Chains A and B, each alone.
Chain A
């Protein structure tokens, strides 16, 4: 399987703390994307980082990419209870055809 791996599988933190999730992948990529999924819902795009970028910020989100290690991390700072969701990394290996390989996901619980 080409699916990536994410760790941890589950993460529980207190409101205000930072949450870090890691993603590893296997193939060469054009870009790596992070998505969020609330329970029983579709996915929402959070942030995209291209293969020639090393770090990207969007609000409270910070994403890093290390292509030599084929890994990425998502940091959510000053977490809120509303950040409780599952987070998936997805790699675009197919030259922007839209075919993404999704990681296994990290379930984040932020306690108020």
Chain B
């Protein structure tokens, strides 16, 4: 159990366009989801905490108008990279917290390439 599905796995887009990434908890309800960014051979950097039914909490230095997060249901959070630029190219990963459990369940990640 506790499966998190993330789509798409990879996306290539033109500079200036917006890209939406979905993160779904398939067999549990996730009141809290997290979005990370990971550069090659580096660690995960937490971008924001997504709470169902309320505004996301962004980490310092992350532009909330650039990275729009919506957590409209207990099983779906979306990250929209608006007006993407080549420097936004990265691997984006989501995770979900299952109830009061302490461990996180991760999606398989999305590789974004902005041309």
Contacts and interface: CB of A to CB of B under 8 A. Distances in A.
Interface stretch (A54-62, A64-72, A75-83, A99-107): A99-107
Given A45-B103, A105-B43, 14 more contacts: A31-B102, A40-B109, A42-B6, A42-B108, A42-B109, A43-B93, A43-B95, A43-B104, A98-B32, A98-B95, A99-B46, A102-B44, A104-B42, A104-B43
B106 A44 contact: yes
Report whether over half of chain B's contact residues are helix, strand or loop; otherwise say mixed: strand
B41 A107 contact: yes
Interface residues on B, range: 20 to 34
Interface of B: 4, 6, 32, 34, 41-44, 46, 49, 91, 93, 95, 97, 100, 102-109, 111
Interface residues on A, range: 20 to 34
B21 to A, nearest CB: 13
Contacts, number: 57
Interface of A: 3, 30-31, 33, 35, 40-45, 48, 88, 92, 96-105, 107
Contacts of A104: 42-43
A87 B106 CA distance: 14
Nearest to A88: B43
